[in-house]
Amino acid sequence: MKRHIGKWLTIVLPLLLGVFLIYYQYSQYTTAQIDEMKGYFKNADYFYIYLSLFIALFGFISRAYRWKYSIEHLGYHSHFHNNLLAVCVAYFMNLTIPRSGEFSRALILKKYENIPFDKAFGTIVAERVVDLLIFFLFVILSFLMQFKVLKDYILQNIPFERLMILAGIGIICFICFLLVWKYSQWKMVLMVKGKLSGLKEGVMSIVHMKNKGWFLFHSLFIWFTYLLMFYVTVFALKETSDISFGATIIAFVMGSLAIGFTNSGFGVYPFLIAKILVLYSIPETVGSAFGWIIWISQTVLMVVLGGLAFLLLPILNRKKKELATS
């Protein structure tokens, strides 16, 4: 019962947050502002949106290709089409339950390639560790490039004393977590440790794999496509086409956070994009419309590719099985 409740909460809470932010944001707009936003949708140059989606396809392909290196290091082989379709399904699943796509990728390889779930999932965790490190590089880069803008905004909106209190609470919580993780004998902690130990081989595959260079290349290329597909969209609206690269980096980082911690950014993504662009004198109505155009287009792409993947997986693998037995 508790498990089912927890599962539903992971779906419902991010959705409720998105609905709340949509209501909160648009309840403050006048009818004229809503009509203004509709105009941005109508007059946007969708060539740049389509170009962004085309670039996204290269990221999908590169992510599927990168996966094979850690899988092969474990002594298994998976067909590229299964890797690619599993990646498409993963993006689709992340629209429902945050981070559920990682589980679906491992389950697909278990079903169609007979690769043990824990080892396949371990390779995915390893990928996520690398992705997180690259994302932190973007965070650092954005902070360095826009330090003055961020500093002025934070100091204007959050008193220095409160910042110190929040930092102190964060440090204390982190120390408590480390102590509980290291010394606790609670069943929950021991169970999590046991689960993680089964992933060790997959995670360590990166360190010992033969093609570390190509793995790193694809990791960097994937994030390059993420940034490039966001950057080209700024030209879809005349009002955002002149923003600086530094502003683009900040918006990209905040948008990535929204996507990573919610149902692919539903409601949160446009809200954060609008708030960031306000710092650069872009009206909130423009930023909100811009955020929604990006989010809707990317969501449609993930739904279409995910739906096709669900249809193609059994068909392609049935044909493969028939050829193997003939």
What's at 231, amino acid-wise? Y
Asked if 66 and 123 count as a contact pair (C-beta separation under 8 A), the reply is no
pTM of the model: 0.79
Report d(CA 130, CA 289) in Å as an integer: 32
Asked if 87 and 306 count as a contact pair (C-beta separation under 8 A), the reply is no
Q: How high is the pLDDT of residue 190?
A: 62
Asked if 215 and 206 count as a contact pair (C-beta separation under 8 A), the reply is yes
Q: How high is the pLDDT of residue 80?
A: 92
Q: Which residues 6+ apart lie within 8 Å of 249 measured at CB? A: 138, 141, 142, 145, 146, 227
Q: How high is the pLDDT of residue 151?
A: 66
Mean pLDDT by 10 residues, the chain (326 residues): 52 62 71 88 95 96 92 87 94 82 90 89 85 87 77 61 72 78 65 57 66 89 95 94 88 85 78 88 91 93 94 84 57
Q: Which residues 6+ apart lie within 8 Å of 287 measured at CB? A: 240, 270, 273, 274, 275, 276, 277, 278
Q: How high is the pLDDT of residue 131?
A: 87
Return the residue matching tokens 């389509």: 50
Asked if 68 and 120 count as a contact pair (C-beta separation under 8 A), the reply is no
Question: 284-322: buried (b, 16+ CB within 10 Å) or exposed (e) per residue?
Answer: bbbbbbbbbbbbebbbebbeebbeebeeebeebbeeeee
Q: How many CB atoms lie within 10 A of CB 220?
A: 14
Q: How high is the pLDDT of residue 59?
A: 95
- Which residue in 300, 266, 291, 269 sits closest to 14, CA to CA? 266
Question: How far is the CA of 228 from the CAs of 29, 36, 53, 70, 223, in angstroms?
Answer: 31, 28, 10, 26, 8
Report d(CA 36, CA 25) in Å as an integer: 15
Q: How high is the pLDDT of residue 141?
A: 86
What's at 298, amino acid-wise? Q
Asked if 81 and 112 count as a contact pair (C-beta separation under 8 A), the reply is no
